[in-house]
Structure 1
Amino acid sequence: MRYFKQASISLLMLTALSFSALGSHAHKAERKPNLSHEQAEWSKAQHADELKHLAQRATFLQLENLLKSAVKNNNVSDNAELYLKLIDSLKDYPLKTDAMSTYLEARIKSVNQDTPAEDINALKQEIEQLIQQYPAHFLRSRWEQNLFTLLINANDTEGLVHYAQRITPNTLEMQIAVLNAELQQESTNNTTDKKQASNANTNVISRYEQLWLANSKLPNDAQLWATWYARGGRTAAKIYQKAEMLFAKNDENGLALLATELHRMTGENEDEKIAAQLQLLQTLIKTPASLAEFAARLPLTENNTALLKFAVVQSFPRYLRTLPENMKDPGFAPYAQWAKDWQLTDTEMLEWEIAFLNRFFDNESPSFQQWRDAEIIKLKADSLTERRLRMAIWQKTDLMPWLNALSDEGHQKQEWRYWFAKTIAKSDSQKTTEIWTALSHERGFYPMLAAAKLDPQTRGNRYHFGQPQLLVAPSITDETWADEFPKLKPALEEIAELRQLDRLGAAKQRWRFLLENLPTDQKKEKQIALSQYANQQNWFDLGVDGSIIAKAFDHIQLRLPMAYSHYYDIALKPRRLTLSKRKPQVSQNATSISKTFAMAISRQESAWNPQAQSSANARGLMQLLPSTAKATASHAKLPYTDEADLFKPLNNILLGTAYLAELNAKYPNNRILIASAYNAGEHRVEKWLARANGKLEMDEFVASIPFYETRGYVQNVLTYDFYYQRLQNKEDPQTFSNEEYDRLY
């Protein structure tokens, strides 16, 4: 209804504008009749097209609502003529195909086994005609699956078997329906070739078994299960195989369901034993701490299956998480004995030891620390070595033993090349300069930092992020693609209309389908051209997504578009607040936050997707939590109604920049601390600063941020900020501020 109202209002406005424009042109006609007439006709045609488009959009939305209501009331067929007339009125509307698809799906939902065969066949033909008419359309696979749904609803086993020979069903329900149909068909065939029938049944049961092994629960599989079981398919080995899969997924409910299937087995000596083992697995998932008793009480013997060993191996990391990190003198010896009792392989033993070291890495026990360091040197696992390097950085101890312990691959990382150069700076300044110079010609945070080290006066503000000039991509509308654009235009118009309807998720699905299914000839170039087109349409999230799909890493302007630029100008402009009985005051809520920094935060947070939503419920361009948004709105006296506001770009930017300003008040002009707090929370930043105790240089503090996500976040944001400064032609771009670079943390 909201869209219908908006469309109606737009129709009235455009009608008024049309009359106004025509009146104006008529007045000018006295002086320039020919030119005036052409302008009036063009304007009239433009307005007519726009009015028609708005009317069709309203019709499309009303049709969707009518069909939804008809499905609910089970009377789709009663008004079929009305729906078809509405669809016919959508000629040239970008989503007419969607309208037809929605109508056919509504009809499918009303089909059951009592529906006349002629109605089912007619509907089937309509779907097949749609597939034939639009063979490369995004919705093709959906229409193909609709045919399965139609045949399932109609209980057409013969049709299912026939259709499944051409198209693979993509849901479990459909796959099981096809297998049931094949099983039923084979059992009713009056074939004299018993061997052929047996082979067909064996194939059905084999495919069912693979589904059973891979899923915790299957729909409508009772007949298949019974047939499979009767043929001896359900063996102890297969129960254990499925149990391993479920245990690895931490699927306690799946294991409980598997245990109930044992009641269907009779006369098998191992039933009681299998049931007990499945119960042990459920206990280990529910209570990981029980591994200690389990591992010590039930060492591997001939009577125990490999399933229990698998459970012990898999449970160990979960068990470690039940132990306090700061426990007194953690030792690996008891677990080495478990490993021996359960006959772990060398690889499994190595994984246990790495898990143990990671759990207690920061434990302050001197004996543990000595053992830990010796093991890290011996194990040569880069994940542990890099963690030890970060510890050495914040403790300001010698890095060289840990740098030397890195693998060849680890040595080549930008970060460790930088630190190697810094470590040898006093003993070999020439080598340091060579390394930093080579690094400064690459792209990223450490190359930018190397440039700053080489030119401390300007802190490397001439850094060109690894390429001599910006690569500008031609749009798909450019003359270069004159032959290609007409082919792609219908799909682009669909995407545009979906975005107008705020269906950004559906638009993104079609965007990716379009880019990934381009012909192989000049595919990357076309993807880049389409991404440029997306940015020109203000589809910034799609432009970024396209640059990633195309791996267009050198096209910085595609990866970092000038998204919502005017909103940042508005949000960051000082606002005058009029307070009762007081003079107007200038709000300082955002005066110290740069536009490029705010845009860098947004790019890192959401890749410019205004409807982005994290697992923690952070929302929108700047990924604000509703609680943070509400508090910020109160402090900054900004409008905020509810969580839905965060999906509106301007609202989100106003609140996000205001929150950045609050952090800036706490950490003035220090983007490292602001970005860290924005990502991980102020309390964690205070904890990290307390640990650093005013002894760390900027690069040391960044490298020693404990959270992998926050460490990368800070590095990306500062790099993006500098890129945006260059892209916005800032006269004196800044890699690092005085407050960031010169202080001790």
Structure 2
Amino acid sequence: MSLRTIIVVLFSLLFGFNSMMAYGKDSSIKKQREIYQKWLQNYTTLSDTEQLNQLVLLKDYPLYPYARYQYLKAHLATASINQVNQFVRQNPDFPLSSSLMQSYVELLTEKKDWQNISKLSIDNSLVTKCRYKYALFQQGKKTEAFKDVASLWLSDNDLPSACNDLFNAWDQSGAKSVNLILLRLELVLSKNNIKLARYLTNQLPSNYGTLKKNLLAVLDDPQNLTAFVKNMSVTPFSKNVVMLSFPRLANRNPELANTFIPTLVKRLKLTQEQEIKLQRSIALNYFNSSATKEQVAWRDHFISEHSDVGLLERRIRLALKDNQLDQVAYWINLLPKTHKQKDEWRYWQAVILEKDNQQADADKILQSLMEQRGFYAMYSAQKLKQTYHFNFEYPVIDKVTPKEELARLSSHYAKLPVIQRIEELRYFGKIPEAIAEWRYFLYKDNNPKQYAEIARYAYLRGWGEHSVQATIAGKLWDNWLERFPLVHQQHFDHFTKDKSIPLSFALAISRQESGLDPTVQSPSGAKGLMQLLPNTAKESAKKIALQNYHSSEQLYDPETNIQLGTYYLNYVYQLFDDNRVLAAAAYNAGPNRVNRWLQDTADGLEVIAFIESIPFTETRNYVKSVLVFDYIYQLILKNKPQTILNTKEVQHIYHKEKS
């Protein structure tokens, strides 16, 4: 046999062996997926023996912890301490381990099985801690049970009802002193939680009747502060009540509050710093349109005297809204040096220099801004008629192709159990679970992580919502590819092609709203990728005759969310004459507010002044972020944008005639 023949045979055998290995692996994962699919479909109907047999078959499958969790959750009433503890110990990086522990502790609490609760390896949740400590109390271990309970109780928020038994026992032991109640009252008042403050006040003992009566009166109506100060002796607590309640009085009746300050200073022996703090509350309430000339003069004198940064910045924005550039210059000059270096105020310093015919100095500031990132960096480039610098070629692993980079990253990350679980969860379309796994992986502990590698790995795998979260966790603000992936592009393409809104604008809104996470729900109830409120979604569905839309839960489906979200975005975009600045503001704060802001501006307001004078901090930052994201997405989509704002948006006069 010739050497050539031997080589060919050996190559064939090697290739065949590798093929069989690959086939065997593929066949194995396919078989495990089939078993897991059957488990999901019918495990609740199987006998205990059949369930255990199924679990044995899934032992080496990445999603085995989910199946095991489901089994234990279904058999929680008969599960042993060892089974639960073992599951938690064996799956420390599994998001549902804490959930199982919490459910088990709750069950044992209902059964009053105090001894077994104290044997558990509990998690750090407040509810579990409370139940664990109450179990110790029931076993007569009062010292151990009540240790650190005061720190748990001293919260400025409402506490879970699951802690009531522990706190009641602690209270009945005499450990909850009046001083602790007063201390928590101060914490609660600092958060303006009036309902909880009223509840705590009613917990004061009967010999504190005068304090209880007068404090409840202040909580009901801050104008009763006058009586409170008159009737109560001067103590650190009574001083704090006045300091914390005064802003409510200033908000309700600033004139009365202002006349009351000398009395408070004299009666309570307030420091100059405390007096200034009270006056600041008055100044804040003299920014409204109903303020008189005298009130405005008092406000401006106070701000110029005390150089409060928050008030100064608000005063600068008021001057911008009124198109008073000389006033802008005056108030910026009063800012502390460090705050003058904020991008927005450096930009306006350049505008002021330009107006004073100091173009070279103005351009120097703009050139410096252009070297940074963000809205003012990009708009400074536009002002200078230069292209903003951007870089999509940054390395994560040097001198390798994307294919080689993925291979190297996969060799390290693909074998991690969490990544294998995410892989399988995504295969079954369980995106919420995959996202929960990813977040747990990123934020679980403080161990150092190679966030740039993790983000790039997710990006190269096509896991856009994961790569975004990794860049946030790692503060990778310059990693544009991983920060701005193209997700659900087929839906965005389809639902924007017949609309006025640019594709990049729809993507930018989604990126700002949800970080491209389809599972997000805001505190106000907005849901999904484009963060639609249920009522907005319902109205939009009616307008486009989307007959298969029945529930706001459908907003977690990316296709449905994008269909309704792009419709509403297109509506506000057309409502404001294809202006992204106004459309973005309207999408965030509502069209009515935007119209009101336009009516309140001075004649001839230009675009940057309008953006910076938006009174809502959230909306102001939102608009700037969306414009930045739109510009980046245009680059990614290879639309070759020249500027962050288009000519129409720059030339538009931001003012609306009052009707």
**Deviation at residue 258 of structure 1 after TM alignment:** 4.7
Aligned: 1:59 with 2:1: no
**Deviation at residue 728 of structure 1 after TM alignment:** 1.8
Larger radius of gyration: 1
The letter for the 2-side match of 1:620 is: G
Aligned: 1:567 with 2:512: no
The letter for the 2-side match of 1:716 is: S
Q: Aligned residue for 1:219?
A: 164
Q: Could you tell me how far apart the structure 1 residues matched to 2:313 and 2:407 are?
A: 51
Q: Could you tell me how far apart the structure 2 residues matched to 1:607 and 1:502 are?
A: 19
Q: Could you tell me how far apart the structure 2 residues matched to 1:649 and 1:683 are?
A: 28
SS in 1 for 2:526: coil
Q: Structure 2 vs 1, CA of residues 62 and 437 (structure 1 numbering), >3 Å: closer, same or farther?
A: same
SS in 1 for 2:635: helix
Q: Structure 2 vs 1, CA of residues 133 and 369 (structure 1 numbering), >3 Å: closer, same or farther?
A: closer
**Deviation at residue 715 of structure 1 after TM alignment:** 0.9
Task: Decide which of 125, 130, 133 is 2:82's aligned counterpart.
Answer: 125
Q: Structure 2 vs 1, CA of residues 499 and 300 (structure 1 numbering), >3 Å: closer, same or farther?
A: farther
Aligned: 1:511 with 2:438: yes
Q: Are the equivalent residues in 2 in contact too, given 1:385–1:402 (CA < 8 A)?
A: yes
Q: Aligned residue for 2:657?
A: none
Q: Structure 2 vs 1, CA of residues 169 and 281 (structure 1 numbering), >3 Å: closer, same or farther?
A: same
Deviation readout 1:161-195 (Å, 9 max, x if unpaired): 5x47x766633454354355257345xxxxxxxxx
Q: Aligned residue for 1:228?
A: 173
Q: How does 1:76-87 map to 2 (within 5 A)?
A: 79-87=47-55
SS in 2 for 1:621: coil
SS in 2 for 1:706: coil
- Could you tell me which runs of 5 or more consecutive residues in structure 1 were left unpaired when the two chains were aligned: 1-33, 68-78, 112-119, 187-200, 263-270, 575-589
Q: Structure 2 vs 1, CA of residues 631 and 473 (structure 1 numbering), >3 Å: closer, same or farther?
A: farther
Q: Structure 2 vs 1, CA of residues 342 and 154 (structure 1 numbering), >3 Å: closer, same or farther?
A: same
Task: Decide which of 361, 375, 388 is 2:287's aligned counterpart.
Answer: 361
Q: Aligned residue for 1:241?
A: 183
Task: Decide which of 338, 343, 350 is 2:276's aligned counterpart.
Answer: 350
The letter for the 2-side match of 1:561 is: P
Q: Structure 2 vs 1, CA of residues 279 and 495 (structure 1 numbering), >3 Å: closer, same or farther?
A: farther
The worse-fitting range, judged by mean Cα deviation, of 133-142 and 52-61 is: 133-142
Q: Aligned residue for 1:94?
A: 62
Q: Structure 2 vs 1, CA of residues 693 and 637 (structure 1 numbering), >3 Å: closer, same or farther?
A: farther
SS in 2 for 1:220: helix
The worse-fitting range, judged by mean Cα deviation, of 43-52 and 220-229 is: 43-52
**Deviation at residue 377 of structure 1 after TM alignment:** 1.0
Aligned: 1:471 with 2:471: no
Q: Are the equivalent residues in 2 in contact too, given 1:541–1:607 (CA < 8 A)?
A: yes
Q: How does 1:622-661 map to 2 (within 5 A)?
A: 622-636=530-544, 641-642=549-550, 643-661=552-570
Aligned: 1:437 with 2:367: yes
Deviation readout 1:323-361 (Å, 9 max, x if unpaired): 4xxx8x787232343343333344433332222211221
Task: Decide which of 456, 471, 474 is 1:550's aligned counterpart.
Answer: 474
The letter for the 1-side match of 2:30 is: E
Q: Could you tell me how far apart the structure 1 residues matched to 2:203 and 2:265 are?
A: 32
The worse-fitting range, judged by mean Cα deviation, of 276-285 and 655-664 is: 276-285
Q: Could you tell me how far apart the structure 1 residues matched to 2:427 and 2:317 are?
A: 48
**Deviation at residue 546 of structure 1 after TM alignment:** 0.8
Task: Decide which of 280, 301, 323 is 1:396's aligned counterpart.
Answer: 323
Aligned: 1:272 with 2:203: no
The letter for the 1-side match of 2:136 is: A
Q: Could you tell me how far apart the structure 1 residues matched to 2:148 and 2:257 are?
A: 48
Q: How does 1:149-298 map to 2 (within 5 A)?
A: 152=109, 155=112, 157-158=114-115, 160-161=117-118, 163=119, 170-172=125-127, 174-181=129-136, 184-185=139-140, 202=143, 204-214=145-155, 218-221=163-166, 224-225=169-170, 228-229=173-174, 233-251=175-193, 254=196, 258=200, 271-285=205-219, 287=220, 290-292=221-223, 294-298=224-228
Q: Structure 2 vs 1, CA of residues 683 and 638 (structure 1 numbering), >3 Å: closer, same or farther?
A: same
SS in 1 for 2:164: coil
Q: Could you tell me how far apart the structure 1 residues matched to 2:564 and 2:642 are?
A: 26
Q: Could you tell me how far apart the structure 2 residues matched to 1:377 and 1:692 are?
A: 24
Q: Structure 2 vs 1, CA of residues 428 and 250 (structure 1 numbering), >3 Å: closer, same or farther?
A: closer
Q: Are the equivalent residues in 2 in contact too, given 1:530–1:546 (CA < 8 A)?
A: yes
Q: Structure 2 vs 1, CA of residues 97 and 279 (structure 1 numbering), >3 Å: closer, same or farther?
A: farther
Q: Could you tell me how far apart the structure 2 residues matched to 1:661 and 1:136 are?
A: 43
Q: Structure 2 vs 1, CA of residues 623 and 483 (structure 1 numbering), >3 Å: closer, same or farther?
A: closer
Q: Structure 2 vs 1, CA of residues 58 and 553 (structure 1 numbering), >3 Å: closer, same or farther?
A: same
Q: Structure 2 vs 1, CA of residues 702 and 245 (structure 1 numbering), >3 Å: closer, same or farther?
A: closer
Q: Aligned residue for 1:480?
A: 408
SS in 2 for 1:388: helix
Q: Are the equivalent residues in 1 in contact too, given 2:309–2:335 (CA < 8 A)?
A: yes
Q: Could you tell me how far apart the structure 1 residues matched to 2:232 and 2:446 are?
A: 58
Q: Could you tell me how far apart the structure 1 residues matched to 2:30 and 2:85 are?
A: 33
Q: Aligned residue for 1:729?
A: 638
**Deviation at residue 411 of structure 1 after TM alignment:** 0.7
Q: Aligned residue for 1:410?
A: 339
The worse-fitting range, judged by mean Cα deviation, of 216-225 and 551-560 is: 216-225
Q: Aligned residue for 1:709?
A: 618
Q: Could you tell me how far apart the structure 1 residues matched to 2:150 and 2:535 are?
A: 49
Q: Could you tell me how far apart the structure 1 residues matched to 2:565 and 2:126 are?
A: 41
Q: Could you tell me how far apart the structure 2 residues matched to 1:226 and 1:599 are?
A: 54
The letter for the 1-side match of 2:583 is: I
Q: Could you tell me how far apart the structure 2 residues matched to 1:742 and 1:441 are?
A: 25
Q: Structure 2 vs 1, CA of residues 62 and 496 (structure 1 numbering), >3 Å: closer, same or farther?
A: farther
Q: Structure 2 vs 1, CA of residues 509 and 276 (structure 1 numbering), >3 Å: closer, same or farther?
A: farther
Q: Structure 2 vs 1, CA of residues 223 and 305 (structure 1 numbering), >3 Å: closer, same or farther?
A: same
Q: Aligned residue for 1:597?
A: 505
Q: Aligned residue for 1:70?
A: none
**Deviation at residue 389 of structure 1 after TM alignment:** 0.8
**Deviation at residue 404 of structure 1 after TM alignment:** 0.8
Deviation readout 1:69-92 (Å, 9 max, x if unpaired): xxxxxxxxxx53233123223233
Q: Could you tell me how far apart the structure 2 residues matched to 1:37 and 1:140 are?
A: 40
| TM-score under structure 2 length normalisation | 0.84
Q: Are the equivalent residues in 2 in contact too, given 1:660–1:674 (CA < 8 A)?
A: yes
Q: Structure 2 vs 1, CA of residues 60 and 275 (structure 1 numbering), >3 Å: closer, same or farther?
A: farther
- Could you tell me which runs of 5 or more consecutive residues in structure 2 were left unpaired when the two chains were aligned: 1-13, 655-659
Q: Could you tell me how far apart the structure 1 residues matched to 2:445 and 2:234 are?
A: 55
Deviation readout 1:578-606 (Å, 9 max, x if unpaired): xxxxxxxxxxxx0x321111111111111
SS in 2 for 1:730: coil
Q: Structure 2 vs 1, CA of residues 442 and 226 (structure 1 numbering), >3 Å: closer, same or farther?
A: closer
Q: Structure 2 vs 1, CA of residues 712 and 501 (structure 1 numbering), >3 Å: closer, same or farther?
A: same
The letter for the 1-side match of 2:388 is: Y
Q: Are the equivalent residues in 1 in contact too, given 2:579–2:649 (CA < 8 A)?
A: yes
The letter for the 2-side match of 1:207 is: D
Q: Structure 2 vs 1, CA of residues 300 and 666 (structure 1 numbering), >3 Å: closer, same or farther?
A: same
The letter for the 1-side match of 2:83 is: E
Aligned: 1:617 with 2:617: no
Q: Are the equivalent residues in 2 in contact too, given 1:95–1:497 (CA < 8 A)?
A: yes
The worse-fitting range, judged by mean Cα deviation, of 416-425 and 37-46 is: 37-46
Q: Structure 2 vs 1, CA of residues 450 and 471 (structure 1 numbering), >3 Å: closer, same or farther?
A: same
Count of residues paired in the alignment: 628
The letter for the 1-side match of 2:522 is: S
Q: Could you tell me how far apart the structure 2 residues matched to 1:669 and 1:734 are?
A: 17
**Deviation at residue 542 of structure 1 after TM alignment:** 1.9
Q: Could you tell me how far apart the structure 2 residues matched to 1:685 and 1:519 are?
A: 43
